[in-house]
Amino acid sequence: MNNDAKTAIVLLLKGIFYKSDNEKAFFEMVHNSYAAIVEYLDTIGLELLIDENDGYAYLKNKIYEEDQQVLPKLLSTRELSYKVSLLCVLLRKKMVDFDMQNDNAKAIITKDDIIQEVLFFLDAKFNEVKIQKDIESTIKKVEELGFLKKLKTTQDVYEIKSSIKSFINASWLDDFDTKLQEYKEANIWN
């Protein structure tokens, strides 16, 4: 396995791997070393998922059949908080709107736009400074998940990453609607 393929594996193990981050390693992974990479990942119980159209790849734990020997899960899964879930849903909806309006351009959103979107879902009674810090903290968490990327050229402007489409799909949204009602009744954010 060549160095670019190894680089692709390391980048995948760190999280969502975008073609724009290392085009050479992405090309190597998708076209030249796919079989070797998949074989290696299989030995550690991982599956490779690639979206060539949007230019990203990620790993998930392998799902085993009943007769297969099961390895411990390498990637931990955790439930997202209400705040992070809400922001992801809002970003996913923005991505749908953006895809319908623009071809081949990045989906861009400002921090102020994100704050306004989230504020719409909150009660009228809240501490504005505290809630703004809460939303900024939530933005950072969504950034860490790989669904938002702060643009270096402009302050407080983010790109909504296309990988959000794979993670926030129709079934996930159905589950979220149920949880949204539970959170609303528990008054979680405030």
pLDDT at 168: 81
Residue 126 CB partners (closer than 8 Å, separation 6+): 190
Give me the residues of the chain with pLDDT under 70, please. 103-104, 122-126, 170, 174, 177, 179-190
The answer to whether residue 17 is domain-embedded is yes
pLDDT at 125: 64
CATH number for the domain harbouring residue 161: 1.10.10.2260
Q: Are 163 and 58 in contact (CB under 8 A)?
A: yes
pLDDT at 104: 62
User: CA–CA distance from 136 to each of 59, 79, 105, 146 (Å)?
Assistant: 27, 20, 25, 16
- Return the DSSP state at 20: G
Entry pTM? 0.73
The answer to whether residue 176 is domain-embedded is yes
Sequence-separated contacts (24+) of 17-24 with Cβ below 8 Å: 17/56, 17/57, 17/58, 18/55, 18/56, 18/161, 18/163, 19/55, 19/56, 20/55
Q: Are 85 and 172 in contact (CB under 8 A)?
A: no
Are 89 and 179 in the same domain? yes
Are 44 and 107 in the same domain? no
Helix or strand (DSSP H, E) at 43: helix 34-43
**Single-letter residue type at 23:** E
pLDDT at 171: 72
Are 7 and 98 in the same domain? no
- Return the DSSP state at 84: H
pLDDT at 138: 92
Are 45 and 137 in the same domain? no
The answer to whether residue 131 is domain-embedded is yes
Are 89 and 56 in the same domain? no
User: CA–CA distance from 144 to each of 30, 69, 139, 161 (Å)?
Assistant: 24, 33, 9, 12
* Domain ranges, residue 11: 3-61
pLDDT at 124: 55
Give the DSSP per-residue string, 132-146. HHHHHHHHHHHHHHT
Are 55 and 86 in the same domain? no
Are 37 and 94 in the same domain? no
CA distance 56 to 49: 9
Are 162 and 121 in the same domain? yes
pLDDT at 123: 62
Domain total of the chain:
2
The answer to whether residue 66 is domain-embedded is no
Are 141 and 170 in the same domain? yes
pLDDT at 60: 92
Q: CB-based burial of residue 37 (10 Å sphere; 0-12 exposed, 13-18 middle, 19+ buried)? A: buried
